[in-house]
Structure 1
Amino acid sequence: MLEVALRHRLGAFALEAEFTAPAGVTVLFGPSGSGKSSILAAVAGLLRPAEGRVALAGAPLTDMAAGLFLPPERRRCATVFQEGRLFPHLSVESNLRYGLRRAPRGAEGPGFAEVVALLGLEGLLGRRPARLSGGEKQRVALGRALLARPRLLLLDEPLAALDAPRRQEVLPFLEALRDRAGLPMLYVTHAIEEADRLADTLVLLEGGRVLAHGPLAALTARTDLPLLAARRDAGVVLPCRVAAQDRAAGLTLLDFPGGRLSISWRDAPVGAALRLRVRARDVAVALPGGALAGTLPSTLSLGNALPATLRAVEALGEAECFLRLAVGESLLLARVTREAVARLRLRPGQELLALVSAVSAGQG
């Protein structure tokens, strides 16, 4: 577990952040200037805070009250920045082996061949960085960091300098790294897609302060956090598993804790784990009974009708509301007008159907 409690001032900017990060990927999420990179620098030992403590697995890295501040080279934290910062005169293989040479003697971690295979670098080993795409450079930078066998991997907006296709190229490798390397990671981003796909724990930051922190699914289901709820893509993230593929119809069937969803085609094998963001504005509700009892009529373009229980109606500005819908063990949010709430006479405890478009649900 990573423990962070920091107080620091940089000119007019005041950082006052405290959170704990269990094993897995902890994403620091917030707008530019919210303090994300400052926290990362303090954990890495590149920023000496005025006050505070940083500890990893119970061992203090920084304890300003006790006068303890380990230098960066003694922290065993490897950092990947927006630009790969590779050595231009060395081949990919030599850049990777540089990381291996920096590993402490006797430190456990993945071997060279394992890292090359994990990040798909087999065909790049003989190239120089000038002959790599932006996505390839970041994969090499990740490999070099892994081979240094750190105790903690720090990633400071590693995809921010890449265009959309290159980001999509690198994200699956980051997911594989999360799932297979077993290395705790602290990841900085202001892109919600990256948080959806990678985070186990989410830390929301604004103005140098922590607004909330906790499991990703729990925070995306909260409506009291404007940093998430005020977005047009506000919605919950569901953990899912591919149940079946219907290539002819262009649909993928996903099981989640509460039922089954059909979504537009995702190229993934049956049994694969996926995260799905179901946006509140793409969920409608209907009163049960008649044609909507169990299946949707063919005259509707919506693809899913899920039995749901209305848990709460929460005001959203002057004209809209969030509906909190329990679907089995899971929670969905629906964004509807106040007029619809009044017309359908919606009230907590009511049994409804949650209508979700097969197209609108996007992979996290």
Structure 2
Amino acid sequence: MIDVEIRQRIGDFQLDVGFSGHGGITALFGPSGSGKSSIIKVIAGLTRLRAGRVVLDGSVLAEGGGRHTPPHRRRIGVVFQEARLFPHLSVRNNLRYGRLFTPRGEGRIAEAPVIDTLGIGHLLDRHPATLSGGEQQRVAIGRALLASPRLLLMDEPLASLDTARRLEILPLIETLRDEFGIPIVYVSHAVEEVARLAAKVVVLEAGRVAREGAPADVFRVAADRFEVVSVVEGRLGKPNDAFQLTPVETPAGIVWLTGIIRPEGRTAHVLVRAIDVALATRRPESVSIRTVLAGTIAGVPEGPGPSVTIDVTLDGGGRLAASLTRASVAELELMPGRRVFALVKSVALDERPV
């Protein structure tokens, strides 16, 4: 468990935040310049804390105007945007470098499982210059893990990679989260990464916490209707090989994704943009849209403007946001408590980060 309180000025920027993480992945989300990387530097000990405190598992690592545990004594692993590997060392020796800062008897993470999980066994005798960006980032993650850290900080670890390499690394981070049990503070401005990985999201704006909570709750709130997204959770079903579709099974209905996605049975998080959701008051028939989710309207905001974003409580739990014109709301007599069916085109969903 980590508790963070930071109140200090960095140049012309004022940072005033407080949050906690209780295992799993806590994501710091926000636009560039919102303070995400500055927080990571304070937690890691790379920036001295002026006011506030950083507490990890009950141990005070930093306290404003007082205690400052040096970075190498904090037992915190850090993975940056760039791999920052030592060019003169082989992959094997880059990995083992992390162990130099592990106190004797506390090296609880073995080398072989890390190498196997990250799929880098065939790279051990190569040097960083011969690796792809994705391979370098795998090695950087392995080096941080082999220090047996109490906490792992990941500062935009996928930002410098292309889409293919990001999709390659995302499942590995999930595996680290689930198999090694190390709490992670993960920095990103990519909604799809955060929604897939995080148990808790802390949204930052101009150095302050704007809101925090589960991804499904946090991303339903946005000033711009084009930015409102929902996270629908379900389990991957058996793919339809003939039509290249994969079902995500939820109590409210099936979300159909294009392409074949495996393994069957794993939990999946699907991002649905509010502008891609239509509502019907009866279950539709003879339509091309395959994803139909049953639910009840939770609320219809009042206010000016031609459009409105409605919250739908899905059967079995979960929420889905739908952006509609106010004319449609009036014509369909949509109001809290009314049963509706949410329609989403499969081709509007991005199946790649699922």
With normalisation by structure 1, the TM-score equals: 0.92
1:304 aligned partner: 291
Equivalent residue of 2:275, what SS?
helix
How far apart, in 2, do the equivalents of 1:166 and 1:83 lie? 13
Q: CA deviation at 1:138?
A: 0.5
Alpha-carbon contact 1:316-1:322 (below 8 Å) kept: no
Say yes or no: does 1:250 pair with 2:237: no
Alpha-carbon contact 1:309-1:326 (below 8 Å) kept: yes
**CA shift in 2, pair 1:208/1:218, >3 Å:** same
How far apart, in 2, do the equivalents of 1:107 and 1:191 lie? 35
With normalisation by structure 2, the TM-score equals: 0.94
**CA shift in 2, pair 1:270/1:316, >3 Å:** farther
How far apart, in 1, do the equivalents of 2:31 and 2:124 lie? 37
2:319 aligned partner: 331
**Structure 1 stretches of at least 4 aligned residues deviating more than 4 Å after TM superposition:** none
**CA shift in 2, pair 1:267/1:305, >3 Å:** closer
1:79 aligned partner: 78
1:6 aligned partner: 6
How far apart, in 2, do the equivalents of 1:317 and 1:139 lie? 50
Q: CA deviation at 1:141?
A: 0.3
Q: CA deviation at 1:287?
A: 1.6
**Per-residue Cα deviation, 1:93-124 (whole angstroms, up to 9, x for no partner):** 11111123332211143211100011010111
How far apart, in 1, do the equivalents of 2:123 and 2:100 lie? 20
How far apart, in 1, do the equivalents of 2:120 and 2:251 lie? 36
1:20 aligned partner: 20
Matches within 5 A, 1:109-258: 109-221=108-220, 223=221, 225-226=222-223, 230=224, 232-258=226-252
1:42 aligned partner: 42
Say yes or no: does 1:278 pair with 2:272: yes
**Percent same amino acid among aligned pairs?**
45
1:101 aligned partner: 100
**CA shift in 2, pair 1:12/1:86, >3 Å:** same
The residue type paired with residue 330 of structure 1 is G
Q: CA deviation at 1:359?
A: 2.4
Say yes or no: does 1:356 pair with 2:344: yes
1:262 aligned partner: 256
1:344 aligned partner: 332
Backbone CA RMSD of aligned residues: 1.7
| Aligned residue-pair number | 351
Alpha-carbon contact 2:227-2:273 (below 8 Å) kept: yes
Q: CA deviation at 1:335?
A: 0.8
Alpha-carbon contact 1:315-1:322 (below 8 Å) kept: no
How far apart, in 2, do the equivalents of 1:127 and 1:171 lie? 24
Range 87-96 or range 168-177, more displaced: 168-177
2:29 aligned partner: 29
Q: CA deviation at 1:231?
A: 5.8
